[in-house]
Structure 1
Amino acid sequence: MAEEKATLQDLKDIAGTPEAAAAVPADADTVERQPVKDALGRSYATGKRKDAVARVWVKPGSGRVTVNGRDQEVYFARPTLRLIVNQPFQVTDRVNQYDVTVTVKGGGLSGQAGAVKHGISKALQMAEPDLRPALKAAGFLTRDSRVVERKKYGRAKARRSFQFSKR
């Protein structure tokens, strides 16, 4: 009845065989990321927010942001939306160092600005993997999964009931 308590000292104890233990790298928690760029030197990423989807290409340049063929100041007329779009550059100290080309569809302007921010953040970390910790700490690499709730039958909207009539 005297059972031995087995404790794990290393990953090698789980593997069982020396061959399987040799297959696990010693520093498995640190992954060396390489920049991902196409033939034109651009990094690509897709950003999403609500119903908006943004396809983003980032390449070294003078800081020009083009959204659907128009300049950023024309497409996002409100200063708050432009502030949202430029947040990844400010967090990583890369203001006016990258040219950005964006194609965005769906949703409203606020959702599109959030999608562009998400896409720029992902594309920046593809171009420079060293920027990943700063972007991750700021929460820019996480997709905001909140979407509009669907309308249900027997309801006026998603949750609102029809107006009650006493008579």
Structure 2
Amino acid sequence: MSATATKTYTWGTGRRKTAVARVRIADGTGQFMVNGIDAREYFPLEVQQTDIRAPLKATELSDRVDVFVNVTGSGKPSQSGAVVQGLARALKEFRPDLYEALRDGNYLTRDARMVERKKYGHKKARKSFQFSKR
């Protein structure tokens, strides 16, 4: 084998609201990068950090794979949700025997909640203009 061995990556895509996360994983040491930054810096809240690492913890692969994520759209909470789904999908492709653990943890399910659209004749999606009887 040559000195410049290439890593083989497994891809997964996750979505939440308007956030889209493209996740790729490979055998490694547990590195977790989001948009070229360490995940702890990109997601400063402890809740988001535990959320994005949950699929790795459920499958006990946290220090055996490197994770690289490109995420765009929406806000940080939705981006962390997209990363969770993308990571779970990538892990499922990486090792199909992990499907049960990922499904039981509900990491493969897409959160279908979206912002309701604004309606014609209303101020917002449901709020209307003030009604005057006289």
Normalising by structure 1, we get a TM-score of 0.73
CA drift at 1:125: 0.7
Identity rate of aligned residues, in percent?
46
CA drift at 1:165: 4.9
Aligned twin of 1:143? 110
Aligned twin of 1:7? none
CA drift at 1:40: 2.7
In 1, Cα distance between the equivalents of 2:42 and 2:84? Answer: 14
Alignment partner of 1:132 is 2:99: yes
In 1, Cα distance between the equivalents of 2:64 and 2:122? Answer: 51
CA-based RMSD of the aligned residues comes to 1.4
Q: Alignment partner for residue 68 of structure 1, among 18, 35, 54?
A: 35
Aligned twin of 2:55? 88
Aligned twin of 1:51? 18
CA drift at 1:110: 0.6
Q: Which runs of 5+ in 2 are unaligned?
A: 1-5
CA drift at 1:162: 2.1
Alignment partner of 1:158 is 2:121: no
CA drift at 1:148: 0.7
CA drift at 1:166: 6.2
CA drift at 1:50: 0.8
Change (3 A) 1:152 1:92: same
Higher relative contact order (CA 8 A, sep 6+): 2
| Matching residue's letter, 1:113 | S
In 2, Cα distance between the equivalents of 1:134 and 1:116? Answer: 17
CA drift at 1:63: 1.0
In 1, Cα distance between the equivalents of 2:101 and 2:51? Answer: 16
User: Secondary structure at 2:24's aligned position in 1?
Assistant: strand
CA drift at 1:111: 0.5
Aligned twin of 2:86? 119
Aligned twin of 1:6? none
CA drift at 1:55: 0.4
Q: Which runs of 5+ in 1 are unaligned?
A: 1-38
User: Secondary structure at 1:131's aligned position in 2?
Assistant: helix
